[in-house]
Structures are given as structure tokens and as C-alpha cells.
DNA sequence: CGTTGCATGTAAGGTGTTACATGATTAC
DNA sequence: GTAATCATGTAACACCTTACATGCAACG
């Protein structure tokens, strides 16, 4: 019963595919490698950065469903590189996804906290070490997110990425502070003698 | 060259397997169903709760490598249920994992923020809706984590779960506040007319 | 008499990673 | 020279979810 005027059949894609398409949606023709760099640049602060090989396969899939188009160009050195761009159908599909797809709740897998939760099986010094590392890494991430924020602020039309980068700075700063407070709680627990034994 | 006094060969398991083993490590004999309930009770606040079917297969794997043991008991109604308990080898392996395994950095996949990042493809009202829902869900999660904290505080020997629950309350409260601030930023952006068009 | 909860799994398939393979260019 | 970066993929595998299948008990 299909006829020509129907809207295009919706393709169900994982959020990672939309993230990759989103990178293309900022308008430039990009190689898989460059998509990866963009992901590293900003996406990683709020959305797990996919592996290189997955980016290549997502790009291939996006092209198959018509949301991206690729062409082979020769780089400065004459070697061929494949660049991808979002298509009109891709832009429409992304808009539709934003407008209508149910929003998955944030998924968190917090390795350091998992360790603390099992603290009764560990040496308290090891727990301190784990949480301290997490605190310091969070501080680094906050600083890096702030750089990304400044970079976004310098580009016109990047107001939303700038907002998200601002959120990311606050998020990782909060993570740093939460880790610091957890460290205090840990110290207090050990000092009080209420820590369950190994 | 293997001989009898070597430490047991280390088995490489995904963090989810350690999480399931960790639930058993709190000491009781549990059915797969009950493991799931514990995961829902506390784990979900800081570590993505695995699907029921995955819990069953992780339990099976843990038994295969000798970290858990199961036996069939008959429930009150006479129907058979399989209960799992951690073994000494499992406890030792979990301690070893805590002490030595590299700690994976927290993995975050933030669906709502991914949408905001692609805000130029969406209607501003839709973005408000997405972030508002996230803010309210975070508030709910903080309240639920606080209940879990109170429950943990009532059990002696649960000092570490209590610490983690306290962290979870703060974390989800922070998420709520970050969402509220993002909402303000969003409003300001739209009011200023700098929001890129659809 | 239908829904929810308890309880246990299997099968299929999708998602995502690691390892492998290749090769040029640039920086130390 | 050798390490890092650019650049592109394939193959194998591990992880994890969804859908399916089953059946009893309790509640309304």
C-alpha cells in the first residue's frame, strides 16, 4: 500500500549514530578520522566517544540509509581520502529524531564508585587512591571542557555547543567536588572505626 | 610449567560481572530475581543496571569460573528456585580485582545533553521540555537515593553502601541543579536572539 | 478474570571493542 | 631511525538488550 507521497520510512538508529550524524550536521565535509577528532573535542564530555572502527561503520550505515553522502577526494599528498557530508534527508531525519524520539535517561557506569561500594573487600588506602585519581581526572576534564567552551564561543552559530560545554565544565567540576567530599567521608569512616573489615 | 601452588589464573570479567558478584558479596544467598532487585535498589544510582537475562548469564558464568555456587531450594510454595552465593575464591577474586584492576573512567551517555548539543536542529520549546524532564527525573532520583541511604544506614556493616548512597544523593541533586541552570541558559539564549535557527 | 509480581531461562540480534593490517608523512 | 600522527578499513569477538516462552500466586 505504499505510495510516493508517504514520508520516508523512519530508520531506527542507536543514539551513537545520531551523535555521528550530529557532528556532520555542523556543516563540514569530514573524514572518519576528523569525525573522531570532533568527538574527542567535545562529545566525550557528555557522551561516550565511540571507537574509531565504530565511527567508520556508522558512517557507512548513515550513507546506506541516505542520511550522509561521501565522495573520494585527494588530499594534499595525492592520496585518496573519503569525506562525508550530511544530506537533506539526514538533516530532516535528525530534526525528526530530536522532535519525536523518546529521550533515553542518562546512562552512567561509574567505575570508581563501584569500587567504593565494595569497600569492605578492599584496603582503605586503595579506596583513597581510586577516589583521589577520580577527583584529579575530573578537575582535568573540567579544565579541558572550559577550553572547548572558549573554542565554541569563538564560532558564530555555535551557541548550543557553547551551552553544552558550559554544562560540561560545571558537571566535571561537580564531580571533582563530589569526589573530594567522598574522600572526606571515607576518612571519617576509617577514623571512626566503623569501616567493615577486609 | 604450571604447578599446584600458583595463584589461581585470573579471569578477565567485565565490570558488570563484578557488580553482580559484589551483590552476592554482601553475604546472602540470592536468586537471580533478587540480585536484580538489589541492583534496582542501589546499583542503578551509579552503575547502569543490567537486564534480567544478563544477570542470569553472569551468574552462570560466575559459577563456571568458581566465584559463585548455586543450589536448588524449594520455595514456600514447593516450586524450585536456584539460589547463588559467593565462594571463597569469588571473594578473593573480587578483592584482587579491587586492589589491582585498572579503574575504568566513568562512562556517561547523556541523552538529554546530546539533544541540546544539536539544538540548532530542534524547536526551542522541545529543548526546554527535554531538559525540564531531565531536571524532574533527577530530583526524583535524588529522593529515591536518599531512601536507599536511610535503608543502608539502618544495617550494620553497610557503611560503604551508605557512603555511596550519600554520594548518589548529592550527584542527582547536582544533576537537577545543572539542568535548572541549563534551562536558564537556554531561555537567555532564546531571549537574546542568538539561537541558531531551525 | 485480568493484571501484577515472582521466577527462570533461551534465542536472536544489535551494539561496541580490540586486534590486526597497511602505508605515508612529520617531528624528535 | 623511530615514534607519533594521519588515514582507512576488516575480522573476530565480547557485551548487552529485546523478544519470546513458561507457569504459579496474589490482588482487585
Q: In angstroms, what separates the C-alpha of B168 from chain A's closest C-alpha?
A: 9
Write out chain B residues lying below 8 Å of A25, CB-based. 118, 120-121
Contact check, Cβ <8 Å, B104/A106? no
Protein-proximal positions, strand C, CB < 7 A: 6-11, 14-19, 24-26
Q: Which residue is nearest to nucleotide D25 (CA to C1')?
A: B77
Asked if pLDDT for residue B30 goes beyond 80, the answer is yes
Number of inter-chain CB pairs under 8 A, A vs B: 207
Quick check: A52 CB within 7 A of strand C? yes
The answer, for A32 touching chain B at a CB cutoff of 8 Å, is no
| CB-based contacts of B117, cutoff 8 Å, min separation 6 | A22, A42, A43, A46, A160, A161, A164
Which nucleotide's C1' is closest to A76 (Cα)?
Answer: C25
Contact check, Cβ <8 Å, A157/B106? no
Where along chain A do its domains lie? 15-100, 111-192
Which pLDDT does position A196 carry in this prediction? 86
Which pLDDT does position B191 carry in this prediction? 95
Q: Can you give the pTM of this predicted structure?
A: 0.93
Q: What is the pLDDT of residues A139-196, one digit of tens each?
A: 999 999 999 999 999 998 899 999 999 999 999 999 999 999 999 999 999 999 888 8
Q: Is the pLDDT higher at B49 or at B78?
A: B49
Q: Tabulate helix, strand, coil % of chain B (nearest 5).
A: 65, 10, 30
SS3 per-residue string spanning chain B: CCCCCCCCCCCCCCHHHHHHHHHHHCCCCECHHHHHHHHHHCHHHCECCCCHHHHHHHHHHHHHCCCEEEEEEECCCCCEEEEEEECHHHHHHHHHHHHHCCCCCCEEECHHHHHHHCHHHCCHHHHHHHHHHHHHHHHHHHHHHHHHHHHHHCCCCCHHHHHHHHHHHHHHHHHHHHHHHHHHHHHHHHHHCCCCCC
Give the CATH class of A15-100: mainly alpha
Asked if pLDDT for residue B198 goes beyond 80, the answer is no
Amino acid at each position: 500500500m505504499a505510495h510516493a507521497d508517504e514520508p520516508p520510512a523512519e530508520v531506527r538508529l542507536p543514539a551513537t549514530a545520531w551523535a555521528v550524524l550530529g557532528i556532520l550536521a555542523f556543516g563540514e565535509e569530514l573524514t572518519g578520522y576528523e569525525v573522531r577528532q570532533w568527538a574527542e573535542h567535545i562529545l566525550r564530555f557528555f557522551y561516550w566517544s565511540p571507537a574509531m572502527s565504530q565511527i567508520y561503520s556508522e558512517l557507512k550505515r548513515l550513507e546506506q540509509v541516505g542520511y550522509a553522502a561521501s565522495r573520494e577526494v585527494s588530499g594534499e599528498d595525492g592520496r585518496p581520502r573519503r569525506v562525508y557530508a550530511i544530506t537533506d534527508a539526514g538533516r530532516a531525519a535528525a530534526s525528526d529524531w530530536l522532535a519525536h524520539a523518546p529521550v533515553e535517561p542518562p546512562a552512567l557506569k561509574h567505575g570508581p564508585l563501584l569500587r567504593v561500594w565494595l569497600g569492605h573487600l578492599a584496603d582503605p588506602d586503595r579506596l583513597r587512591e581510586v577516589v583521589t585519581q577520580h577527583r584529579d581526572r575530573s578537575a582535568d576534564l573540567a579544565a579541558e571542557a572550559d577550553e572547548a567552551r572558549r573554542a565554541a564561543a569563538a564560532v558564530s552559530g555555535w551557541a548550543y555547543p557553547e551551552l553544552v560545554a558550559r554544562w560540561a565544565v560545571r558537571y566535571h567540576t561537580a564531580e571533582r567536588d563530589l569526589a573530594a567530599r567522598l574522600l572526606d567521608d571515607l576518612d571519617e569512616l576509617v577514623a571512626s572505626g566503623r569501616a567493615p573489615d577486609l
